[in-house]
Amino acid sequence: MAKEFKNYLNLLSLTPDTTYVVSKDCTISTNLVLPDRISLIFKGGKITVTGTLTGTRTSIVAPISEIFITSDVTSIDGTWDIDQAYPRFISCPIRKLKPIVNKVTPLRGLAA
């Protein structure tokens, strides 16, 4: 059964090989390395990232819409298991559009 990915969730308690549903907006304001093979299913929620979010063979299931809201200091790194990544996944200030769109590259199915 999938668990809800929430603001108040102790991010250190995320467990590997677990599915999390993002149905409400939440914020990650630290540098977070997701445990191995977490699945994030976006169902109406978005994640605001103000630090670094690092995937570890993390899968994403999402509509073609905004799922990550970023800031000037945001970094999205790591390995992501996803069939197709879209620039629309990442919202950013217009002056940062090109560098942020380039951050979609790590999301392009780098799983082993």
The three-state secondary structure class of 76 is: strand
Asked if residue 30 belongs to a domain, the reply is yes
The pLDDT value recorded for residue 11 is 60
Q: Report pLDDT digits (tens) over 50-70.
A: 888 888 999 999 999 999 888
* Residue 76 falls inside a structural domain: yes
Question: Could you tell me if residue 91 is inside a domain?
Answer: yes
Q: What is the pLDDT of residue 112?
A: 39
- Domain total in the chain: 1
Secondary structure element (H or E) that encloses residue 100, with its range = helix 97-102
pTM of the model: 0.77
d(CA 4, CA 95): 33
Give the residue among 76, 69, 82, 66 at the shortest CA–CA distance from 103: 76
Q: Which domain holds residue 98?
A: 3-104
